Structure 1
Amino acid sequence: MKNVFFGLGVKYEKGIHARVALGRDGRVIEVHESPDASGLNYRSGRLRQMAIEWDDSVAFGEGAEPGIAIEGRVMVEVHRSAGGSDLSCRIGVWDEDGIVFGESVKYASGEAPCVAMNRQAIVEVHESPWNAKIWCNLGRLDEGTDSIVWQGNTYLDAGIQPGIAINAQNDVVMVHGNASDSDLHYRVGKLGRDGIAWGPAARYGAGSHASVALTPEGDVIVVYETNDQKDVLQRFGKIRGKSIDWAGEAVYFDDGARPSVACNGGMAIQVHESELFNALWASTSRVADRSRWMQDNLRVLGDLTLPWLTTGASHDAGMYQHGLLMSLGKTQNLDLYQQLGNGIRYFDLRPKWDGSALYVSHGPITGPALSEILDDVRRFMSEGNRELVILKFSHYAKFTDGIYEQLVEMLQDKLGRWLFQNLPQGARLSDVPLGEYLRHSGVVLIVCDEDYPVDIPAAGIWVYRDSDSPTAELGDLRVYDKYSNTTSYDTMSTDQIAKFQAYDGACVDRPELPCDQFLLSWTLTPPTGVWLLSKDANRNLGAAMAALPRENASGRVINQLYVDYAEYSRATDVAMSMNGIP
C-alpha cells in the first residue's frame, strides 16, 4: 500500500505558525509569522528530487496564524489580524516575474484559519472567536474582479485548531482537536452543487495542531503534534465513503510542534516548528508503495545493471532490538521485514555463533537470532514482491568451517526458492539487468566476504570483495566501501562525496579489475549512541544528493546509500529520484 514517511527535517527559516502548500508542478509556498510575531512572511521554492530549493523570505504585511493554498499559479492566503479576531484573505499570483499578493479583505471573524482550494472552489475553516466551535466557508474566485466570493459561514462542528484539504475530485477532509481533551477527529465530505455533504466525525488519534492533505486518488495524509509538544507524528489512510481506512497507527517522524502538510499527488511536504526555539523545519516524502518500488518502475529500471542502479542500504541491518544493552549497539529502528517494506534493498549482516545458535552482532553486542532475520526476508518474498534484495555477510564472529556450513544450510533452507543461482556463461552479477533478475519473481542475492565462500562453494552463495581487497579478483560482487570513521557530519559528508568524485569504476590499485558498485557510507561512528549522531546525516541526505550530478567525472553513479536508522534518511525515496523515477 502507498504511504509517506517524512523523516527528519532540515532547518530553513526562523518563525512560528508555519503553513505550506504544494503545486502540481513542484512549486512550494510557505507562510509564517516572524519569530517575534511582528508580521507575516512567505518563502517560495521548488522541489528538486527530495530537497527543497528555497528563495529568500519576503515580508508581506501584518497579521497572525496565516494559512495558504495554491492551484496552478493562483494562491489564496488567509490570516487573523494581529491582536484581534478579524479574518482576512488575499489572492496571490505566481508567474514568470515572481509572486504578487493583492490587498487583504476581511471575510469573517475567528481564529486559526485554514484554507484549501481546487479548480472549482475554495474551502476555509476557522475557530469561533468566542467558543470551541468550527465554522466552514465556501468560496470561489471571481476572475472578473480578482476577488473571492464567499457563501458565508456555516457551522461545522464543536472543536478547535481545524485543518482542511480538498482534491481535484472534490473530496474534502477536515481535521480538528477538542477543547476538553486531546482527542483528534476527522470528517470526510464531498463538494457538490449544494455545498459539502459531510460524513460523521470520527476519532483518529490524540494530540493537537493537526494538518491534512489529500491526493487525487483519495489518499489522506495527517500530521500532528503529540500532547507534550515535543514530537510530530504522521498517519496515512484512504477515503472509503465517508470514513478513512488507515494504514496502521500514527508514527513519529521528527521532534517538533505545529506541523503543516501539503501534497500534489506524487509528492508531499511538511513543515513544523522546533519544539524549543522559533525555528522552522521542512522535509519531503514520496507518496509511494516502497515495498514494490522496483517492480512498479521496471519501465525505468529494467535495463539497469548493478553498476547503474541506486538503492537504499542498511548499515548493521540486524541491530534493531531495544533494551539497555541492545541500545549500545543499535543502528536501526525497524526489523528486516519493516526495512524491506520501507524499500531498503541492501543489508549488511554480521553473523555470530554463540555456541548454540547463529545471531547477528555489532562489535561485542549481540543482536537478534539470524533465523528471525531470515524469516522476515522469507515473509517479504512470500508476499510476491518482485524485488532484488542483496544480503551481504561479513565480520563472522566465532566461526569455523562447520559453522559457516550451518549458515549456508540455513540460508538455502529458508530462502532457497528465491536465491539467484545461475549466471549466463562468461557473465558476472554486474552484467545482469534488473529486469532479467526479476523476470519471474523476486530474487535474493546473497554475497559472502572472506575465504569461506571460496573454500566452501555453495549454490546461491556468491563471493563478495571490497574493492581494495588483495583478492578482489575472486569477487562475484566487488564494492567500493570506505567509511569515514568520524563523528563530524561535515567531515563525513565532505569525505564521502570526495571519494565518489574520485571513483572511476576500478578496484583500488587494480585499474584492470572493474569494481561493480560504489557504496556511499553516509554514517557517523560514535563509540555508542548511534541515533543522536545519525540524525544530522539522515536529515541532510536528500539535499546532499540533489546537489550532486547523477554521474561523476568518470561517468559513475552512487549505488548504495548506506545509512543508520534507514527510514529517517528517506534513503529509498532519494534512491528513486536518483534513478530517474518520476
Structure 2
Amino acid sequence: MANSYPYKKWMSETPYIDRLSIGEIVWPGAHNSGVDRDFSYPPHIAVISNWVVCQDGPFIQQLNEGVRALDLRFHSDEHWMGIKKFHTFHGPATGRSLSELIKSLNYFLDENPDEFIILDMHELKALKDGAFDYKTFNTVIMNELGLRLIPKGNKHLTLAELKKLSNKQRIVLAAEWHPDFNSPLYWGGISHEWSGTDITSPNELKQHIARTLQSPPSGPMPWSLSATSYGELAGVKRISTELNEWFGPTSGWAPKCSIINVDFFGDSSLIDYCQELNMSKGLTKR
C-alpha cells in the first residue's frame, strides 16, 4: 500500500526545502477539494456532476498523492449541531464533511509528521439565507486542529525553524477575518487569481496565467493561481497535457507561482515539478 503513494512524504524527502518559508514554497493545490468523484451525490446532483465535481478521490487520497494546499468551501447547515453542521460545497452540490477533513488531516499528519498543509478556507456561508456559524466553526477548529496550526506570526520562518519550534504545528489555516473566527493562529484570506469567467477554454486559461505571471503577487503570504478550465458542454475539463506543458521544468512559469490550484490534479505531473522546483529554490537560497 505504501508503494501506491510515492509522493506521500514528498516534502520531508525533498532536499533543501527546509530552507524555504511557507510563502516561498510552490504548493500543489486541489481546487474544490471537498467535491470528488468517490462521494455519493443525490440523483439531481449526479446528473450535473461534470459541472461540480473537481477531484477524483477524497481528502486522504489527495494528501497521500501529494496535494498540500486544499481549496475549501464550507456550508453551515442549521438543521444540525456542532461539527455535523459543516460540509463542503461547490455550486448546488454538497460534498465531504468538516469531520472527514479533520479525521483525514490527523491521520495523515500522525503518519507523516513533517509534511506541511495549507487549508484555504476560500468561502464560508450558510446553506440557505442567513449567516455562517463562525462561532461553532471556530470552536470545532480550535478543539480538533488547534495544536496543529502554525501561528500567523511565524509566517517568515523557514520549515526548518518551524520544525524546531514544534513537532505538531504543520497546518496553515487561511480564512478571511471575522469577529467570531479570529485567532493569532489564523493567517487571513488567500488571494485568488482566476480568469473571472466560469467558461474558460484552455487557451483562455493560458492567456490568463501569462497575464498573472507578468507581475505575480509577492510577500510572505501564499496566493493561489486558478489553473482550471470549464467547457460550455463538458463542464470541468481534464487538462493534464496543458498543465504539464505550462508548469513543467522548461516553462519558467512554475517558479513564479505560490499555490497552483488545479482540478483532477492526479492526472498531471504537478507533484514532480513542485518537488524539483522547491529543491532548486532551497539549494540556491541565500
TM-score by length of 1: 0.42
- 2:195 matched to 1:483? yes
Structure 1 equivalent of residue 256 of structure 2: 557
- 2:214 matched to 1:501? yes
Which of 274, 285, 289 is 2:6 aligned to?
A: 289
Superposed, 1:358-437 pairs within 5 Å as 358-398=86-126, 403-421=133-151, 423=153, 429=155, 431-437=156-162
The answer on whether the counterparts of 1:484 and 1:524 sit within 8 Å (CA) in structure 2 is: no
Structure 1 equivalent of residue 167 of structure 2: 441
CA RMSD of aligned residues (A): 2.8
Superposed, 1:96-115 pairs within 5 Å as none
The answer on whether the counterparts of 2:69 and 2:259 sit within 8 Å (CA) in structure 1 is: yes
Question: What SS does the corresponding residue of 1:296 show, helix, strand or coil?
Answer: coil
Superposed, 1:457-536 pairs within 5 Å as 457-458=182-183, 460-466=185-191, 480-485=192-197, 486-503=199-216, 505=218, 514=219, 516-526=221-231, 530-531=235-236, 533=237, 535=238
Structure 1 residues 290 and 455: CA distance shift in structure 2, 3 A: same
- 2:35 matched to 1:319? yes
Structure 2 equivalent of residue 160 of structure 1: none
Question: What SS does the corresponding residue of 1:394 show, helix, strand or coil?
Answer: strand
Question: What SS does the corresponding residue of 1:543 show, helix, strand or coil?
Answer: helix
**Cα distance in structure 1, aligned partners of 2:265 and 2:60:** 13
Question: What SS does the corresponding residue of 1:312 show, helix, strand or coil?
Answer: strand
- 2:251 matched to 1:548? yes
Which of 548, 569, 577 is 2:268 aligned to?
A: 569
- 2:241 matched to 1:539? yes
Structure 1 residues 402 and 489: CA distance shift in structure 2, 3 A: closer
> Structure 1 counterpart of 2:226, which letter?
S
The answer on whether the counterparts of 2:190 and 2:221 sit within 8 Å (CA) in structure 1 is: no
- Larger strand percent: 1
**Cα distance in structure 2, aligned partners of 1:504 and 1:391:** 19
> Structure 1 counterpart of 2:66, which letter?
G
The answer on whether the counterparts of 1:448 and 1:464 sit within 8 Å (CA) in structure 2 is: yes
Question: What SS does the corresponding residue of 1:376 show, helix, strand or coil?
Answer: helix
Q: Deviations over 1:91-110 (max 9, x none)?
A: xxxxxxxxxxxxxxxxxxxx
Q: Deviations over 1:140-187 (max 9, x none)?
A: xxxxxxxxxxxxxxxxxxxxxxxxxxxxxxxxxxxxxxxxxxxxxxxx
Structure 1 residues 307 and 369: CA distance shift in structure 2, 3 A: closer
**Cα distance in structure 2, aligned partners of 1:458 and 1:401:** 20
> Structure 2 counterpart of 1:338, which letter?
Q
Q: Deviations over 1:250-293 (max 9, x none)?
A: xxxxxxxxxxxxxxxxxxxxxxxxxxxxxxxxxxxxxx831111
**Cα distance in structure 1, aligned partners of 2:76 and 2:70:** 19
The answer on whether the counterparts of 1:352 and 1:397 sit within 8 Å (CA) in structure 2 is: yes
Q: What is the CA distance between 1:557 and its match in structure 2? A: 2.0
**Cα distance in structure 1, aligned partners of 2:87 and 2:217:** 36
Structure 1 residues 368 and 305: CA distance shift in structure 2, 3 A: same
**Cα distance in structure 1, aligned partners of 2:53 and 2:196:** 19
**Cα distance in structure 2, aligned partners of 1:529 and 1:396:** 27
Superposed, 1:90-101 pairs within 5 Å as none
Structure 2 equivalent of residue 338 of structure 1: 61
Structure 1 residues 528 and 373: CA distance shift in structure 2, 3 A: farther
> Structure 2 counterpart of 1:492, which letter?
L
**Cα distance in structure 2, aligned partners of 1:370 and 1:518:** 23
Q: What is the CA distance between 1:390 and its match in structure 2? A: 0.7
**Cα distance in structure 1, aligned partners of 2:180 and 2:136:** 15
Structure 1 residues 303 and 540: CA distance shift in structure 2, 3 A: same
Structure 2 equivalent of residue 33 of structure 1: none
> Structure 1 counterpart of 2:12, which letter?
Q
Q: What is the CA distance between 1:364 and its match in structure 2? A: 2.0
Number of aligned positions between the proteins: 263
**Cα distance in structure 1, aligned partners of 2:77 and 2:150:** 29
Superposed, 1:214-233 pairs within 5 Å as none
Structure 1: unaligned runs, 5 residues or longer: 4-246, 248-287, 467-479, 506-513
**Cα distance in structure 1, aligned partners of 2:60 and 2:118:** 14
Q: Deviations over 1:368-387 (max 9, x none)?
A: 22111221111111224311
> Structure 1 counterpart of 2:247, which letter?
M
**Cα distance in structure 1, aligned partners of 2:141 and 2:149:** 9
* 305-314 or 521-530: bigger deviation: 521-530
**Cα distance in structure 2, aligned partners of 1:492 and 1:402:** 32
Structure 2: unaligned runs, 5 residues or longer: none
**Cα distance in structure 2, aligned partners of 1:530 and 1:437:** 41
The answer on whether the counterparts of 2:246 and 2:253 sit within 8 Å (CA) in structure 1 is: no
**Cα distance in structure 1, aligned partners of 2:97 and 2:232:** 23
**Cα distance in structure 1, aligned partners of 2:55 and 2:190:** 24
**Cα distance in structure 2, aligned partners of 1:435 and 1:527:** 46
The answer on whether the counterparts of 1:352 and 1:398 sit within 8 Å (CA) in structure 2 is: yes
The answer on whether the counterparts of 1:421 and 1:460 sit within 8 Å (CA) in structure 2 is: yes
Q: What is the CA distance between 1:438 and its match in structure 2? A: 3.0
Structure 1 residues 517 and 483: CA distance shift in structure 2, 3 A: farther
**Cα distance in structure 2, aligned partners of 1:515 and 1:383:** 28
Larger Rg: 1
Q: Sequence identity, in percent?
A: 19
Q: Deviations over 1:375-434 (max 9, x none)?
A: 11111112243111010113222187771111111112222231123635xxxx2x1212
Structure 1 residues 580 and 384: CA distance shift in structure 2, 3 A: closer
Structure 1 residues 495 and 401: CA distance shift in structure 2, 3 A: closer
Does 1 or 2 have the higher relative contact order (CA < 8 Å, sep 6+)?
2
**Cα distance in structure 1, aligned partners of 2:75 and 2:101:** 13
> Structure 1 counterpart of 2:148, which letter?
W
Structure 1 residues 456 and 385: CA distance shift in structure 2, 3 A: closer
> Structure 2 counterpart of 1:562, which letter?
N
Question: What SS does the corresponding residue of 2:117 show, helix, strand or coil?
Answer: strand
The answer on whether the counterparts of 2:193 and 2:212 sit within 8 Å (CA) in structure 1 is: no
> Structure 2 counterpart of 1:407, which letter?
F
